[in-house]
């Protein structure tokens, strides 16, 4: 179910929208792997999750730089709408992933807030990064 939520809408509109959907998967991965890392009982497994998280952060930095460059020619209202859309897509996707993977989260003793919180913080940091490049 969650895989389809990413795959089908990705190609509906344009490059920016497709990348936004892919970026949402990175925000979701960051949230998911943070929980897995924090709950890993084996230090080697925790290190593996940490390496994955470092890669996700690098991807998001790259995408932030791309969108900062891309948005330089956008009208401020377009940038605001894009930012709101990014947040909305994340929130919808986070709920779908939570629902789809609920047994896993429950087995880990993780709450929805623990799952969605890191993604929300990451999106805010992402948007601040773009804004700094634009100013």
Confidence of residue 124 (pLDDT cuts 50, 70, 90): confident
Shortest CA distance to 28 belongs to which of 131, 102, 119, 126?
A: 119
Radius of gyration of the chain (CA): 15
Q: What's 8's DSSP letter?
A: T
Counting every residue, how long is the chain?
A: 135
Neighbours of 56 (CB within 10 A): 21
Domain that holds residue 93: 2-134
Confidence of residue 27 (pLDDT cuts 50, 70, 90): very high
Say yes or no to pLDDT of 51 above 90.
yes
Token pair, residue 113, equals 């807030």
Segment 84-112, tens digit of pLDDT: 998 899 999 999 999 999 999 999 999 99
Contact 37, 53 (CB under 8 A): yes
User: For the chain, how many structural domains are there in total?
Assistant: 1
């Amino acid at each position: 179910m969650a895989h389809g939520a990413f795959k089908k809408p990705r190609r509906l509109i344009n490059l920016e929208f497709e990348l936004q959907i892919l970026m949402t998967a990175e925000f979701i991965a960051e949230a998911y792997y943070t929980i897995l890392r924090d709950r890993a009982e084996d230090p080697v497994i925790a290190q593996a999750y940490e390496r994955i998280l470092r890669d996700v952060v690098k991807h998001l930095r790259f995408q932030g730089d791309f969108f900062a460059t891309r948005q330089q020619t956008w009208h401020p209202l377009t940038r605001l709408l894009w930012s709101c859309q990014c947040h909305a897509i994340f929130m919808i996707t986070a709920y779908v992933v939570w629902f789809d993977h609920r047994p896993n989260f429950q087995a880990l003793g993780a709450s929805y807030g623990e799952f969605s919180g890191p993604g929300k913080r990451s999106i805010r940091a992402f948007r601040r990064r773009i804004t700094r490049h634009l100013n």
